[in-house]
Amino acid sequence: MGSKAEETYSKHIHRYNFKFIIEEPEKIGNGINAFLVYIVRYETNLPSFTQSQNSVRRRYSDFLKLFMDLSSRYARFGHIIPTAPEKSLQTLTKVKLGKNLEAINCEVFLEKRRGALERFLNRIGAHPVLCLDSGFKNFLEAEGDLPRTRETAMISKEGIRRMVKDVGDHFPKMGKRSTETDMWFEMKQTQFDNLEMQMKKLARAIDHLVLERQKLCDACFTFSKDLTVLGQVETKSEICVSIQALSDLEFKMGEFNQQQWKLEFLLLGELIKDYLGLISSIKKCFVERARIFKSWQRLQGALILSREKEGKFQVQGKPEKLIIIQAEITSISQQALENEDLYDRISENIAEEIENFESQKSVDFKATIKRYLQCLLDQQEQIVKCWQGFQPALLRMM
């Protein structure tokens, strides 16, 4: 993506000036009724908001409800809805049954969830349409708890029904893709299919990298522990001191590897996951556009048949049937016109959303990779200092 497009995108997001910070969650209650509450702090210069700065307490289900509401209102018009983070039944059980967040050992999950929710709100805040939604405004300004809903329950009749409906909706789309009449949209659909495939490969590669880094981290800690035991049975004090120094060094190497796999998991892995969700939203927009086009063409075919009947009734001199068919023609013509307008609107919105997506992707990946490389550089400098600090102990052994 060219620098001009990135500059345009940057000016666009800075114009709305939304900034969100989500603090670490707090566990409320115990047992099956326990849940997490996040403090959402934001700043904005949007005139529709009564306060430029505010903070509210929201549950995860409130975020999920916001996502569902935005999807139901705007996805059918071709707007990309940022995806909310998925639920985790395993961690949910730990949260409900654990005494406190420190005891259930889910630091990585909590940071992953917190970061995902923060990015979710920032993407909505940067969207020119979604940020003006009344439900989004209510989410950020309503005092106290938001009304509860069963639609966001982990296991509920509504949730199961919704999952079955989603599966049913996608079965017809698993076959050959609908024929596209616009070459630009055909090209973009192919590009996003390829981009999704490559990002899934990259996600698997990052998962493998994180797994191997975790193994290296565990190996360093184990090696450090074994060296400590070895140093305790060594009779010569000089060698004992050197072995303990090496043990401390290996422990620090384990900590560095731990920091690094968390960085790769939370920074690179989550970025890829975010964009896979956005690509999925874009592909749903393509599907919705194709559905509207088919509906429009079906109405056009029905209109041709109705006009043929009108001609027959005129020739046959059947005024009663002529009145009925003319009313039908008027109704179908109106529906066809509405579908044509909706098709033009969704096509225009999707094209604009894709342009913003491509600019946003370029900005996000550049910033993330720059931050990742800087963190690696800083870490390598610390590793070098650690080895330099170990050098005197090494010389004492020689």
pLDDT at 94: 64
Average pLDDT of the chain, as a whole number: 83
Residue type, 71: S
Question: Dihedral of CA 284/289/293/298: which sign?
Answer: positive
Q: 62 near 146, Cβ under 8 Å?
A: yes
**pTM score, whole prediction:** 0.81
Angle CA 138–142–145, to nearest 5: 115
Using CB atoms within 10 A of its CB, is residue 6 exposed (0-12), middle (13-18) or buried (19+)?
Answer: middle
The count of other CB atoms within 10 Å of the CB of residue 248 is: 17
Per-residue confidence band for 16, with pLDDT thresholds at 50, 70 and 90: low
Maximum distance among all Cα pairs of the chain, rounded to whole angstroms? 119
Tokens 């003319």 belong to residue: 326
The count of other CB atoms within 10 Å of the CB of residue 204 is: 11
Give the separation between CA 310 and CA 338, rounded to whole angstroms.
22
Residue 308 CA, chain-centre distance (Å), reads: 51
Tokens 């020689």 belong to residue: 398
Per-residue confidence band for 30, with pLDDT thresholds at 50, 70 and 90: confident
**pLDDT tens string 269-297:** 999 999 999 999 999 999 999 999 999 99
Per-residue confidence band for 253, with pLDDT thresholds at 50, 70 and 90: very high
Q: Quick one: average pLDDT of 246-251?
A: 92
Give the separation between CA 258 and CA 254, rounded to whole angstroms.
6
The count of other CB atoms within 10 Å of the CB of residue 184 is: 11
Q: 346 near 285, Cβ under 8 Å?
A: yes
**pLDDT tens string 58-106:** 998 899 999 999 999 999 899 999 988 877 666 666 666 565 555 545 7
pLDDT at 235: 72
Tokens 């360093």 belong to residue: 220
Tokens 């342009």 belong to residue: 355
Structural domains for the chain: 1-145 (3.30.1520.10), 289-397 (1.20.1270.60)
Give the separation between CA 263 and CA 283, rounded to whole angstroms.
30
Ranges of beta strands (E only) in the chain are 19-22, 26-28, 35-43, 53-59
pLDDT at 304: 93
Strand partners, 40: 22, 56
Please determine, for residue 28, whether its predicted confidence score (pLDDT) is greater than 90: no
Q: 22 near 39, Cβ under 8 Å?
A: yes
pLDDT at 175: 42
* 141 closest CA partner among 66, 64, 233: 66
**pLDDT tens string 290-332:** 999 999 999 999 999 999 998 988 888 888 888 999 999 999 9
Please determine, for residue 238, whether its predicted confidence score (pLDDT) is greater than 80: no
Query: Is residue 331 classed as helix, strand or coil in its secondary structure?
Result: helix
pLDDT at 18: 84
pLDDT at 179: 61
**Cα distances (angstroms) measured from residue 109 to each of 38, 210, 213, 362:** 14, 14, 17, 27
